[in-house]
Structure 1
Amino acid sequence: MTSSSSTRGAAKWALLSLAIGSFGIGMTEFVIMGLLPDVARDLEPTLWASDPDAAIAQAGILISLYALGVVIGAPTIAGAVARYPRHRVMLALALALTVFNALTVFAPTFELVAVSRFLSGLPHGAYFGIGALVAADVMGPGKRAKGVAFVLTGLTIANVVGVPLGTFLGQQVGWRAAFAVVAGIFALAAITIAVFVPAHDGDKGRTFLAELSVFTVGQVWLALGSGAIGFGGMFAVYSYVAPMITEVAGSPAWSVPLVLVGMGLGMTVGNLVGGALADIDLRRTILGGFIALAAVLSLLALTMTGIVLLAVFVFGVGFVSSMLSPAIQTRLMEVAGDNQSIAAALNHSALNIGNSLGAALGGAVIAAGLGFVAPAWVGVVLALAGFGIAAVSYGIERAATRTPDASGLKQSA
């Protein structure tokens, strides 16, 4: 074996190790959405007996708490560990994810499960943010984007394979079994990271306060806002897709994993298409993407009573939302100046604010008695709001370009 091929092999093993962890993150974040009825029945038996819809809405809080953990953990952890060796940081994050997901398996009450879900979300954004830097360093100049994409592949594959299989397992054996599998995946990731990810000294010159200077850039806030609110439209549907399938379309529970496979495929394809379109025209991809998301959510709401059309438009929701994901990531890094690492983590904060917002508002309209179609209409409103924020961002940027001193929101050089 040549030295060059040996180096390439080592890089692939390092990237695979990181991708195993991203697979686990995708599974732990999304598998609960297909298991909400099972979680509600187990953890809220009294409420379930009297009002199953209200019990499901209550269980939706677990989704919001995970997302809140991501929002808080991404900038604080990424900023705090920027100066430490990255391979050790990644190992610590993988171990934390192992422990916190194991807590979900064994927590006996709704309140303790809620705490475990919040804790599980804390390392999420930092794992992807620091992992992206590790992947870029492993691949070297000219191949950095490929390295980052390979790590993110674990997340997309989780939506195609891990989430549907975890949902099926949870339905057959019990919802806790799905999280036991997740904890095992993170344990495997920790082992492979310890063995295969090369040492990296980190950036000893970076401080927590220096990293947080990204929040002084006004356009960063607008980019985060468009992603957080606009993506809430997708999560308003994704959070309650299981009861939409069983209660509105009248399909059996075994069809839920099949629809989730379709959504995962839509996410995978959409991510690839969105990256290509963003390279061609970032502004049109973002603005057009939010309009397309609002349109497909409207079609889903209007046709949800039929399982075939529901599956088609759920695929569409996955496709369009994931098409937007790399575009918003690019926009955020475009306006973040020198703070690329924390910007990468903040993207996941924005997406999980959308996760929390969509799940909370979707649960609110269900609890109000408006039924399981209502979250799709909530999604339409959120997608259009995301479009509005993105349009304002680009409008301010154009104005600032014409009169550079007119706006404090102008992107820093």
Structure 2
Amino acid sequence: MSINKGLIALAFGGLAIGMTEFTMMGILPDIAADIEIDIPTASNLIGLYALGVVVGAPTLVAATSKYPAKKVLLFLMLLFFVFNAIFTFAPNHWSLFASRFISGLPHGAFFGIGSVVAAKLAKPGKEAQAISMMFTGMTIANLAGVPLGTYIGHHYSWRFTYGAISLLGLITFLAIYFWMPVIPANKNNNVVQQISYFKRWDAWLMVAVIAIGTGGLFAWISYISKLVTTVSGLSPDQVSTVMILIGAGMLVGNLIGGRLADRISPSKAAITSFAAMACCLLILFFVAHITALAYPMAFITGMIAFSIGSPLQMMLINNAKGAETFAAAGGQASFNIGNSLGAYFGAIPIAYGFAYNYPSLIGVAMAATGAVLAYIFLQKVEKKQNQKGRKFESLEELEQA
């Protein structure tokens, strides 16, 4: 697939958004010490960003539905740049909290609109691979950006890290301005029609697929530091190496997921990825105590877990004719719900005194549930849509379908 410059611009956005979301986990103690608050209070910065994603995804998409995609993407990255800059210089925890929430608003809308734009820029049959190019930016963030940002935050200042992230938003703005082709707005866009997508039962089935299934990833990765240090026996200094391996796995898995979705259909790719994730997390539970396996399992689990992104986005887009952008943005909100659910349920065995490999079992259950729900979607929704789309030889055949 020849790479369109517009896709590169979207990948820059994925890099910026990935860094602002995931770097927070690594430098939270530095922020807490700098503004003199405790860790539990500082952890609200994570939750407020996720809340911003959930709120911003539907509202910003609905508010901008009449405008050309390029203008909307420029507006979203301008919002990202400004409020990450405000976050960088915020003097107290109240201003930090407010700017952190607002900086999360563009996240879901950017990926929702960006997914639809990427699919339009792609050659026929290569849509999922084009979407995976956008998500490559987020995987590069996990591979290199987050470890680098964490290092700068630890050894210099967390404000330098978020200043750089803000500038990355500005670079994305310029890349979109110069490289993104103008895609005319759909004059038939109807906000009520877009919102009415969520009156359908299959829309909520997709929410469940994403929120529960991807929760399996977060049940594991939310506690990865404690897992590799207390169960696998690695030193704290080696956690950054593990995170780099996870990021490398995510980069590879994202590209595999895009190709798989184009080859065997998005729903089948999602079922395969969720089932593989459940198997991988189960294996991880039993081998986590073997120190030598900590590194390869980090790469393999990251690869399998992140192969799910492009198939899910294509499932949303294909199932929401007339409301593709709204559905894709809602998918990002669902992904962040999965973030919260995975971390919450993964904490339950820890609260009862079990070791840090036990959250992986929670991940097994959530990923397996995602596979089952994706299979239900395939049987009850996708196959029915395919039947309606084909020509029937007789009235009886049509009625049977």
Q: Structure 2-normalised TM-score?
A: 0.83
Q: Provide the C-alpha distance between the structure 2 equivalents of 1:307 and 1:62, rounded to a whole number of angstroms.
A: 33
- 1:224 has 2:207 as partner: yes
Cross-structure match for 1:328: 312
Superposed counterparts of 1:368-379, under 5 Å: 370=354, 372-379=356-363
- 1:344 has 2:328 as partner: yes
- Report the Cα offset of residue 41 of structure 1: 5.6
2:55 aligned partner, one-letter code: I
Cross-structure match for 1:122: 105
- Report the Cα offset of residue 386 of structure 1: 1.9
Residue by residue over 1:273-330, the C-alpha shift from the partner in whole angstroms, topping out at 9 and shown as x without a partner, is 2223332254443333223212222333333344432232222221112122222222
Cross-structure match for 2:147: 164
1:79 aligned partner, one-letter code: A
- Report the Cα offset of residue 182 of structure 1: 1.0
8 Å Cα contact 1:27-1:158 kept in structure 2 = yes
1:20 aligned partner, one-letter code: F
Q: Provide the C-alpha distance between the structure 1 equivalents of 2:376 and 2:114, rounded to a whole number of angstroms.
A: 32
- Report the Cα offset of residue 123 of structure 1: 0.5
- Bigger drift between 379-388 and 193-202 goes to 193-202
Q: Provide the C-alpha distance between the structure 2 equivalents of 1:268 and 1:236, rounded to a whole number of angstroms.
A: 20
Superposed counterparts of 1:156-195, under 5 Å: 156-195=139-178
Superposed counterparts of 1:12-411, under 5 Å: 12=5, 14-39=6-31, 55=40, 60-110=43-93, 112-136=95-119, 147-278=130-261, 279-363=263-347, 366=350, 370=354, 372-397=356-381
Q: Provide the C-alpha distance between the structure 2 equivalents of 1:103 and 1:367, rounded to a whole number of angstroms.
A: 37
Identity of aligned pairs, percent?
Answer: 39
Residues 135 and 333 of structure 1: is their aligned pair in 2 closer, same or farther, counting only changes over 3 Å?
closer
Q: Provide the C-alpha distance between the structure 1 equivalents of 2:211 and 2:345, rounded to a whole number of angstroms.
A: 13
Q: Provide the C-alpha distance between the structure 2 equivalents of 1:142 and 1:320, rounded to a whole number of angstroms.
A: 23
Residues 124 and 357 of structure 1: is their aligned pair in 2 closer, same or farther, counting only changes over 3 Å?
same
Partner secondary structure for residue 214 of structure 2: helix
Partner secondary structure for residue 206 of structure 1: coil
Partner secondary structure for residue 205 of structure 1: coil
8 Å Cα contact 1:61-1:360 kept in structure 2 = no
Q: Provide the C-alpha distance between the structure 2 equivalents of 1:258 and 1:232, rounded to a whole number of angstroms.
A: 24
Partner secondary structure for residue 363 of structure 2: helix
Q: Provide the C-alpha distance between the structure 1 equivalents of 2:368 and 2:131, rounded to a whole number of angstroms.
A: 30
Q: Provide the C-alpha distance between the structure 2 equivalents of 1:253 and 1:379, rounded to a whole number of angstroms.
A: 24
8 Å Cα contact 1:33-1:238 kept in structure 2 = no
Q: Provide the C-alpha distance between the structure 2 equivalents of 1:399 and 1:144, rounded to a whole number of angstroms.
A: 20
Partner secondary structure for residue 16 of structure 2: helix
8 Å Cα contact 1:60-1:360 kept in structure 2 = no
1:197 aligned partner, one-letter code: M
Number of corresponding residues: 387
- Report the Cα offset of residue 267 of structure 1: 1.2
Q: Provide the C-alpha distance between the structure 1 equivalents of 2:53 and 2:298, rounded to a whole number of angstroms.
A: 25
Q: Provide the C-alpha distance between the structure 1 equivalents of 2:226 and 2:33, rounded to a whole number of angstroms.
A: 13
Q: Provide the C-alpha distance between the structure 1 equivalents of 2:314 and 2:116, rounded to a whole number of angstroms.
A: 15
2:11 aligned partner, one-letter code: A
Q: Provide the C-alpha distance between the structure 2 equivalents of 1:195 and 1:329, rounded to a whole number of angstroms.
A: 26
Residues 328 and 145 of structure 1: is their aligned pair in 2 closer, same or farther, counting only changes over 3 Å?
closer
Partner secondary structure for residue 123 of structure 1: helix
Q: Provide the C-alpha distance between the structure 1 equivalents of 2:292 and 2:356, rounded to a whole number of angstroms.
A: 17
- Report the Cα offset of residue 77 of structure 1: 1.2
8 Å Cα contact 2:129-2:255 kept in structure 1 = no
8 Å Cα contact 2:119-2:127 kept in structure 1 = yes
1:124 aligned partner, one-letter code: H
- Bigger drift between 102-111 and 373-382 goes to 102-111
8 Å Cα contact 1:236-1:378 kept in structure 2 = yes
Residues 188 and 292 of structure 1: is their aligned pair in 2 closer, same or farther, counting only changes over 3 Å?
same
Residues 400 and 340 of structure 1: is their aligned pair in 2 closer, same or farther, counting only changes over 3 Å?
closer
Partner secondary structure for residue 65 of structure 2: coil
2:281 aligned partner, one-letter code: L
2:18 aligned partner, one-letter code: G
Partner secondary structure for residue 66 of structure 2: coil
